[in-house]
């Protein structure tokens, strides 16, 4: 609850790596997202205001896609952010398993459900090696973030959903992270394969 009108667009910048104890990077992780559009990023790494269809691009995660695809991509948006992803995706649905990340080798699955309209996918393109994470030397692509939120920089794009919280209004949002294994999700993934 704010005592003055202000901007609010909170998120969670947790890094995920489903390999277990950082055995490998996240490049072979497979991400499925219910998203038909992403926001174009400019040289300042902020949305330009242009909403882009994911169709026939490395940004189409609707049927599942390896993170590696974005690293090898020659798409200008992938190159701009350092070979990978650092982009807001507009979610088609809410609280309906709209984001599923899986690592086939470990069998681990992360499902993200949110009431937010957007998720920023960051694939650790610029993590570098200047420090250690739990005894493992950091490197690019060691983890990825799924930052649920409203569209970034919406104050400069009036047709984006607003991040203005008026005086006396309450701000509340919910994002749920569920960890399972592929065995627990066999029916879900079988259904996805049948749809494709």
Give the length of the chain. 196
**pLDDT, tens digit (0-9, with 9 covering 90-100), for 60-96:** 999 999 999 999 999 999 999 999 999 999 999 999 9
Digit-coded pLDDT (tens) for 131-146:
888 888 999 999 999 9
High-pLDDT (> 90) share of the chain, %: 87
What distance lies between CA 169 and its chain's CA centroid? Answer: 28
Where do the structural domains in the chain lie, given as residue ranges?
6-189
Q: What architecture is the 6-189 domain classified under in CATH?
A: Distorted Sandwich (2.70)
Q: Round to whole Å and give the CA distance between 124 and 5.
A: 34
Structural contact between residues 63 and 32, judged by C-beta atoms closer than 8 angstroms = yes
Does residue 105 contact residue 23 with C-beta atoms inside 8 Å?
A: no
Active site residues: 13, 147
Task: Identify the CA nearest to 127 among candidates 141, 112, 148, 115.
Answer: 141
Task: Please give the pLDDT value at position 189.
Answer: 54
- Residue for token digits 């200047």? 130
Q: How far is CA 122 from CA 10, 25, 60, 89, 94, in A?
A: 16, 14, 15, 11, 20
Return the pLDDT at 195: 63
């Amino acid at each position: 609850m704010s005592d003055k009108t202000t901007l609010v667009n909170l998120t969670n910048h947790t890094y995920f790596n489903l390999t277990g104890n950082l055995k490998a990077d996240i490049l072979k992780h497979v991400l499925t997202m219910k998203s038909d559009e992403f926001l174009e990023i400019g040289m300042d790494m902020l949305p330009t205001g242009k909403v882009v269809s994911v169709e026939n691009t490395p940004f189409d995660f609707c049927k599942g896609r390896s993170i590696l695809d974005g690293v090898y991509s020659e798409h200008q948006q992938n190159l701009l952010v350092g070979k990978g992803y650092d982009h807001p995706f507009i979610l088609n649905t809410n609280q309906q398993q709209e984001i599923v990340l899986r690592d086939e080798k470990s069998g681990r699955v992360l499902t993200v459900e949110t009431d937010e309209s957007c998720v920023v996918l960051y694939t650790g393109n610029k993590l570098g090696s200047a420090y250690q994470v739990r005894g493992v030397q950091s490197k690019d692509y060691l983890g990825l973030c799924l930052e649920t939120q409203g569209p970034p920089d919406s104050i400069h794009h009036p047709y984006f959903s607003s991040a203005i919280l008026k005086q006396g209004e309450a701000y509340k949002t919910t994002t749920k992270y569920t960890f399972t294994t592929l065995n627990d999700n066999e029916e879900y993934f079988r259904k996805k394969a049948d749809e494709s």
